[in-house]
Chain A
Amino acid sequence: MNLSLLDPFAVAKEFPEVSISKLEFGHSTLIKSSYNSDYLASGTIDGDIVIIDLDTHGIIKILRNHTRAINSLRWSNCGRYLLSTSRDWKVNLWDLSANEPIRSLRFEGPIWQAEFSPKNQPFEIFISVFEDDCLFVNWEDKDDVRVDPISVEGSEESSNHYILTGVYHPSGNFLFVGTNKGLVNIISTIDGSTLFSEKITSSNVKNIILSQTGYRIAVNFSDRIIRQFKIPDLVNEEPKNWILEVEHKYQDVVNRLQWNSVSFNSNGEYLIASTFGSSHEIYIWETTMGSLVKILEGSKEELVDVDWNFKKCEIYAVGLDSGKIYMWGVIVPQKWSALAPDFVEIEENIEFMEREDEFDIIPENEMAQKNLELEEDIEVDLLTKDTIDARGFSIEKSFVIPLKLEHSQNLFE
């Protein structure tokens, strides 16, 4: 049913609360929903990338080029390109209107992650390689791929100091990176120089995520603590005045749980994390106060990767053992009376009391006159498109993946 007709309080829920579905297409290790929330890309353990349509929950594409488990998946903002890295040492850029990668690079070792730059998508990317320098890659020209290594600078100089993960600032001028020695650095994407460096702890950085607004950053360290920082004013302040201020530390003091994967919601007001080990839950914190608001249950196995689909208000997570994709969402009660405003939904049977004028006989011409007046008052605009959806997100036109039905039999081969 059309969301905008339903109970606004149910529709505008901030976070999902109930388990709604389970999907199983191969052994999934990684998921990522597209920016427009229409599609879900799932990387499987044997290197296939499955594109799932989120309205029908059906497979619409299977991309084959990797031979090992997929390590990271990123959608371009337009929804047309997909960046994948795998343990088979390859980085591929897929154009979803075709079935083959349009760019492919092979490195000298497994790759942790690849990230689209907000500028010049999909050709400018950041890649972090296992036990090697990180790279800025520009592969706009297929025959002249420019690769700039990023050196790790910081308080600690060591031969085994590597960048593990990174995330772009929405401006595209800065890159936040985390190293295996617990450093969080801010690197200029223009000249690759390290503008800021701070040692937070001495353990690995597992994930760095940035809220879409660019105000908050959350770093998942392997010392079982997720630290949330406020991002300094990067544009107006001098780099030497930047301070990474810890807003909150999220940890399970009792069980000392490790966090597998973290994700923000659209405006950075909520943070979710999946847990390592025998606890099979997803924790949701509210980020201004740092309080735990909900624990999502429903899976019977450890959850690895989590992803928050903003527009559908759904959370997806991947099970470690079975490779199933678990989905949590909001169930909005159906309100069919919205389609016929003169009908009223009642909770229980009531005795009908007729209105005073219910069976009055109105002369036909009078009736027609009345109807005419009513009709004149209402002007229905059928042409202008809504600019925001029921949840308040702006509706943007995005890429629609073409379906070739005649080749569908090859899909499962």
Chain B
Amino acid sequence: MLFFWGKSHLAFESYSVFPIIGPGMTEELSKEELKRLQKKFQEFEKAPKYNLNSEEVFCICRKPDDEGQLMVACDGCDEWFHFRCMKLDPKYEKLVANFYCLFCDRLFNKGTTLWKRKCKLEGCFNPIELSEEKKSKYCSEEHGLMYMKQTLLDKVLKQESLNDQRLLNLKEVSSILREVGDCKALAKLGEELPIYSDFYPNANLSPLLTEKVAVWEKQIQQVTTDLEHLDSRLRLVLALKDFLKLLNENINIITIPDYIPGSRTKSSKSKSKNSKKSDICGFNRVILDLDKATDMDQFKAKISPYLGKNTIDPEEFKKLYQEIYPDDDDMVDFVGPDNWLAGFCLKDKRKCNKHHSWLNILADDYYLQTQLLEEKKKRLQDEKQTLMTDYNIERWETLEAEVASN
């Protein structure tokens, strides 16, 4: 018996010299200490596994399994140790992730004792809730709520006791919390800059700023007008496309005697030179010079009776057409009498290299210009917004300073 006592005493001593605190204790043992530990391990190894009563004995104290004594198994050597002998508080019971005895840890480097994270609530020694979808700082939801309530109350009450006016009191906190409703809304608080009350109307702006804002607004206005202008031009080009279709149909009606409107193939019966189905280029120089709104109106007025119609009265068209093409044999670039057909390039579409795909070129250009202008407009608006925001912040700051000085 004496022998055992002595042994346990020795083991105890060794424990107190190198307490198991947990992970992170990595300082190297000196040679001397290592030797001492080795010696103790040999003693521990040699110690009998059963006592005189043929009971199995465990731990460094070499005592049988006393009912009710909390024990822990080492993950390195599968030996059982008493919590008490390892100088562990029994309340940490549930927090042990893996345990390595002193020998496995320090002598054989099999591993170090690891602990689970403790619930953040004071007095609770359960591990935190951990799962794939959820990472909580608390062992359970109730404890989380309890913790938050406690912290909030602590802070607010502490501040109230300090009697600091700049901070919120309990009443304010509770009213804010009731107002926002949920966590997301609370997190969003303060993301947007509050507008200072006398920021609008602009009467209170400094003259310099008013001027600046006016310049920006003028530019934005200009871009908006340009955009409208472009849009109307684009619509005109698209309308021209339809108009050309109509024009082609009508030329075909006149030049091909037995032409069936809408048919794609030319009549097989007529073999005369004029029977070739026409597909004119239809470019008109006028549309390039439509920078002035009046020009555009004039041009629109000129062709508007025919826009959106399905047919032009063949008789009327024939008259106009023959005015331009008295011989009706070659389609040439024409500058003639001032009727609405004048100015259009009447070359065959496929032979007119010069105006090749003019509809697409114009439309693409207008699309690109629109895009560029819209980008510019956005940039201008952003810049104006930044200017206003800066001013707003400045106002708030001066107000704060005034309050503070009072």
Which of B285, B367, B368 has its CB near the most chain A CB atoms (within 10 A)? B368
Which residue of chain B has its CB nearest to the CB of A47?
A: B368
Per-residue 0/1 for B348-372: is the Cβ within 8 Å of any A Cβ (1 yes, 0 no)? 0000011100000100110111001
Q: Is A196 on the interface with B (CB-CB < 8 A)?
A: no
CB distance A131 to B368 under 8 Å?
Answer: no
CB distance B354 to A67 under 8 Å?
Answer: no
Q: Secondary structure of the A side of the interface?
A: loop
Query: In the complex, which of the residues B283, B353, B368, B375 contacts A67, with contact meaning CB atoms closer than 8 Å?
Result: B368
Q: How far is the CA of A88 from the CA of B288 in the complex (A)?
A: 12
Query: In the complex, which of the residues A65, A68, A410 contacts B361, with contact meaning CB atoms closer than 8 Å?
Result: A68
Interface positions of A (Cβ within 8 A of B):
47, 64-65, 67-68, 87-90, 100, 106, 108-110, 130-132, 410
Q: How far is the CA of A108 from the CA of B283 in the complex (A)?
A: 9
- CB neighbours of B372 from chain A (8 A): 64-65, 100
Which residue of chain A has its CB nearest to the CB of B291?
A: A106
Q: Secondary structure of the B side of the interface?
A: helix
Which residue of chain A has its CB nearest to the CB of B355?
A: A109
Query: In the complex, which of the residues B353, B354, B365, B367 contacts A90, with contact meaning CB atoms closer than 8 Å?
Result: B365
CB distance B365 to A88 under 8 Å?
Answer: yes
26 pairs from A and B in contact (CB 8 Å cutoff) = A47-B368, A64-B368, A64-B372, A65-B368, A65-B369, A67-B364, A67-B365, A67-B367, A68-B361, A68-B364, A87-B361, A88-B361, A88-B364, A88-B365, A89-B361, A100-B372, A106-B288, A108-B283, A108-B285, A108-B288, A108-B355, A109-B354, A110-B354, A131-B353, A131-B354, A410-B375
- CB neighbours of A108 from chain B (8 A): 283, 285, 288, 354-355
Which residue of chain B has its CB nearest to the CB of A107?
A: B288
User: Which 6 A-B pairs give the minimum distances between C-beta atoms?
Assistant: A67-B364, A109-B354, A131-B354, A67-B365, A88-B361, A67-B368
CB distance B361 to A67 under 8 Å?
Answer: yes
Q: What's the tally of chain B residues with a CB closer than 8 Å to chain A?
A: 14
Which residue of chain B has its CB nearest to the CB of A413?
A: B375
**A21 CB to nearest chain B CB (Å):** 31
**A95 CB to nearest chain B CB (Å):** 16
**B130 CB to nearest chain A CB (Å):** 40
- CB neighbours of A132 from chain B (8 A): 354
- CB neighbours of B364 from chain A (8 A): 67-68, 88
Q: How far is the CA of A132 from the CA of B333 in the complex (A)?
A: 13
- CB neighbours of B353 from chain A (8 A): 130-131
Interface positions of B (Cβ within 8 A of A):
283, 285, 288, 353-355, 361, 364-365, 367-369, 372, 375
Q: How far is the CA of A100 from the CA of B222 in the complex (A)?
A: 15
- CB neighbours of A65 from chain B (8 A): 368-369, 372
- CB neighbours of A67 from chain B (8 A): 361, 364-365, 367-368
Using A68-B361, A106-B288, A108-B288 as known contacts, list a sample of 9 further A-B pairs with CB atoms less than 8 Å apart, ordered by residue number in A.
Answer: A65-B369, A67-B361, A88-B364, A88-B365, A100-B372, A108-B283, A108-B355, A110-B354, A131-B354
Which residue of chain B has its CB nearest to the CB of A132?
A: B354
**B153 CB to nearest chain A CB (Å):** 46
Which residue of chain A has its CB nearest to the CB of B345?
A: A108
Q: How far is the CA of A132 from the CA of B244 in the complex (A)?
A: 24
- CB neighbours of B361 from chain A (8 A): 67-68, 87-89
- CB neighbours of A90 from chain B (8 A): 365
**B360 CB to nearest chain A CB (Å):** 9
Q: How far is the CA of A132 from the CA of B355 in the complex (A)?
A: 12
**A2 CB to nearest chain B CB (Å):** 41
Which residue of chain A has its CB nearest to the CB of B372?
A: A64
- CB neighbours of B367 from chain A (8 A): 67
Q: How far is the CA of A363 from the CA of B73 in the complex (A)?
A: 79
Which residue of chain B has its CB nearest to the CB of A410?
A: B375
Which residue of chain A has its CB nearest to the CB of B288?
A: A106
Q: How far is the CA of A338 from the CA of B353 in the complex (A)?
A: 61
Q: How far is the CA of A88 from the CA of B354 in the complex (A)?
A: 11
Q: How far is the CA of A67 from the CA of B368 in the complex (A)?
A: 7
**A69 CB to nearest chain B CB (Å):** 12
**B137 CB to nearest chain A CB (Å):** 38
- CB neighbours of A88 from chain B (8 A): 361, 364-365
- CB neighbours of A89 from chain B (8 A): 361
Which residue of chain A has its CB nearest to the CB of B376?
A: A100
Query: In the complex, which of the residues B283, B354, B368 contacts A130, with contact meaning CB atoms closer than 8 Å?
Result: B354
Q: How far is the CA of A410 from the CA of B378 in the complex (A)?
A: 12
**A159 CB to nearest chain B CB (Å):** 11
Which residue of chain B has its CB nearest to the CB of A129?
A: B354
Which residue of chain B has its CB nearest to the CB of A64?
A: B372
Q: How far is the CA of A87 from the CA of B355 in the complex (A)?
A: 11
- CB neighbours of A131 from chain B (8 A): 353-354
Which residue of chain B has its CB nearest to the CB of A407?
A: B379
**B348 CB to nearest chain A CB (Å):** 15
Which residue of chain A has its CB nearest to the CB of B361?
A: A88
Q: How far is the CA of A64 from the CA of B288 in the complex (A)?
A: 20
- CB neighbours of B368 from chain A (8 A): 47, 64-65, 67
